Amino acid sequence: MPAVSTFTLVAKAGGSSEASENTLSAIEAALSVRLPAGVRLAIEIDVRLSSDGVPVVIHDARLERTTNGRGLVREHCLQRLRRLDAGPGAARIPVLEEVFGLAREHTIIVEVHERGPEVAEQVLASLRRLDARALGRTIVASEHGSVVHRLRAVEPRLATAATKAEAYRKLLLSRLNVERFSPRGHTFMVPVRHAGVEVTTSRFVSSVRRLGDEVWAFVVDDAREVSRLRALGVTGCFTTRPAALARGIELAA
């Protein structure tokens, strides 16, 4: 399959190897990256709920690794979380509204790290409080399939990533050449390899693309690997180094 003309470079957690992850400063840095021709930028953020039910932008269940706080995110209300240091320059833990306001027209991948219908409802409520275009530039992903299925049920306009189960089923059925029975209509955000098994094979990517869907691979920080994946038909990749990878892609072009 020939390389795609438009490729999506996804700044994982805003670009966690180049700035403090999931902070507004990281997102600002990613937005300033000079992109090669044919490449567009998207922003991935990680979301959990505060004790008072507000979606906050942080990856870990606990605060210690990325902030000066202690304990579980779910044990702290928004007001307390907002007082914590999340990086240099008095960076704070953002809320969804701040990220969308900063990223403007860019696609935002909201990775939900908690399970339960209340998480889906709170995330959706936050998105609906934004301008009318917010839903149209959002893709929700989660390791918890129940969250994704709940969001699809209550807001069919919202784009979602394929669940792990859907991706595994697609991989299996593509190997059997019966992809007509496989899931469709979602972005497949998949690892390049998992447990020693190549996921982004030519057959898998072709199977997804034939049905009009996209394949975004993670995590890719090497320009040569991007070139290889694009030649397979992969349409995007997640990277922790958006600035460095953009330069590498341009040099390799």
Percent of the chain with pLDDT over 90: 75
Q: Residue range 104-122: average pLDDT? A: 93
Report pLDDT digits (tens) over 59-77. 999 999 999 999 999 999 9
Q: What pLDDT is attached to residue 3?
A: 46
Residue 49 near residue 35, CB atoms below 8 Å: no
What 8-state DSSP symbol labels residue 175? H
Check whether 12 has a pLDDT greater than 50. Answer: yes
Q: What pLDDT is attached to residue 197?
A: 86
Which fold does the domain 7-252 belong to in CATH?
TIM Barrel (3.20.20)
How far, in Å, CA of 37 to CA of 74, rounded?
Answer: 42
What 8-state DSSP symbol labels residue 62? B
Report pLDDT digits (tens) over 137-188. 999 999 999 999 999 999 988 999 999 999 888 888 777 766 666 556 679 9
Task: Strands of the chain (E only): list them.
Answer: 7-11, 39-49, 55-57, 107-112, 138-142, 159-160, 188-191, 193-194, 197-198, 215-218, 236-239
Please state the length of the chain: 253
pLDDT band at 39 (very low <50, low <70, confident <90, very high): very high
Check whether 5 has a pLDDT greater than 80. Answer: no
Report pLDDT digits (tens) over 187-223. 999 999 988 889 999 999 988 888 889 999 999 999 9
How far, in Å, CA of 170 to CA of 180, rounded?
Answer: 10
CA diameter of the chain: 54
Q: What pLDDT is attached to residue 1?
A: 44
Q: What pLDDT is attached to residue 183?
A: 58
Mean residue pLDDT of the chain comes to 91
Q: What pLDDT is attached to residue 93?
A: 98
Check whether 90 has a pLDDT greater than 90. Answer: no
Q: What pLDDT is attached to residue 128?
A: 92
How far, in Å, CA of 72 to CA of 45, rounded?
Answer: 18
Task: Strands of 62-160 (E only): list them.
Answer: 107-112, 138-142, 159-160
How far, in Å, CA of 212 to CA of 194, rounded?
Answer: 24
Check whether 30 has a pLDDT greater than 90. Answer: yes
